[in-house]
Structure 1
Amino acid sequence: MKDKTIDYILRATWQAVSRMYNEEANKYDATMATGFALLSIDREEGTPSTALGPRMGMEATSLTRTLKSMEEKGLIIRKKNPEDGRGVLIYLTDFGKEKRELSKNTVLKFNESVRKNISEEKINHFIEVAEVINELILNKNIFTQSDNNNDEDR
């Protein structure tokens, strides 16, 4: 993969991870999005529906579909937020908590497998690189950098 661009490597790797999680989730009549939602909902306090999208990096329409499916399967229930009558809190049912544990174990198994095959030093470098990429994007420093940075190279 040496002559591939960084964005290609990120995209291809994420697609492989996503495919792997979806194949595993399919065994339990679920999806990766469902598993991720289960892990993003507070087990005891519930989670405001408006906080889930940003937490999961998911668009509102996709999140709405996922939550509807989860509710139909009995994984979650929605309740009015007592502190804000306009808002809705999402709670895990007992069945949802059970499936959450399954999702958690799947993620932990993936992490354990990766950590068994890659040194701690390389994992730390990977995390550091990912943090820098995220910071560059968050601070909008990718396409807004001035050409001044390259003046010394000319």
Structure 2
Amino acid sequence: MKDKTIDYVLRATWQAVARMYNEEATKYGATMATGFALLSIDRENGTPSTALGPKMGMEATSLTRTLKSMEDKGLIIRKKNPVDGRGVLIYLTKLGKEKRELSKATVLKFNETVKQNISEEKLNHFMEVAEIINELILDKTIFNSEEDSK
């Protein structure tokens, strides 16, 4: 992997993880996006629909399709926000909570398997590197430096 760029490794790894989760989710008639949404919705208090997209890093159109599919499958229900009548809260149904536990177990199994095969020190380094990359991106220090404006 010496001659591969950092972004290539990140993208290829994420695609492999996404493919793995989608293959597992397919066994239960779901998708990775559905599992991620189940894990992102507050189990007891629901979650505002407007907060779900940013929380999941999903575009509104993709999220709308995912939520519609989840509603059709009886995993979620939508209720008016009692605090803000214009907003909608997304709640997990009993089935949604059951499927959420399945999604949680799947994520925990992945994490445990990785931890069993990679030392704690290497995982800590990986997390540190990922955090720094995210900070560089959030701080817009990659393409908005003084050098770029010349």
- TM-score category by the smaller chain? over 0.9
**What is residue 2 of structure 2 aligned with on the other side?**
2
Per-residue CA distance 1:57-98 (angstroms, 9 max, x = gap): 000000000000000000000000000000000000000000
| Code of the aligned partner of 2:26 | N
**What is residue 33 of structure 2 aligned with on the other side?**
33
Normalized against structure 1, the TM-score is what?
A: 0.95
| Code of the aligned partner of 1:113 | T
d(CA) in 2 for partners of 1:41, 1:27: 22
Alignment length (residue pairs): 148
Per-residue CA distance 1:109-128 (angstroms, 9 max, x = gap): 00000000000000000000
Q: 1:144 Cα deviation (Å)?
A: 1.3
User: Secondary structure in 1 aligned to 2:85?
Assistant: strand
Unpaired runs of 5+ in structure 1? 149-154
**What is residue 77 of structure 1 aligned with on the other side?**
77
* 1:134 to 2:128 alignment: no
Q: 1:147 Cα deviation (Å)?
A: 3.2
Normalized against structure 2, the TM-score is what?
A: 0.97
| Code of the aligned partner of 1:105 | A
Query: Where do 1:18-97 residues align within 5 Å?
Result: 18-97=18-97
**What is residue 145 of structure 1 aligned with on the other side?**
145
The RMSD of aligned alpha carbons is 0.9
**What is residue 107 of structure 1 aligned with on the other side?**
107
Unpaired runs of 5+ in structure 2? none
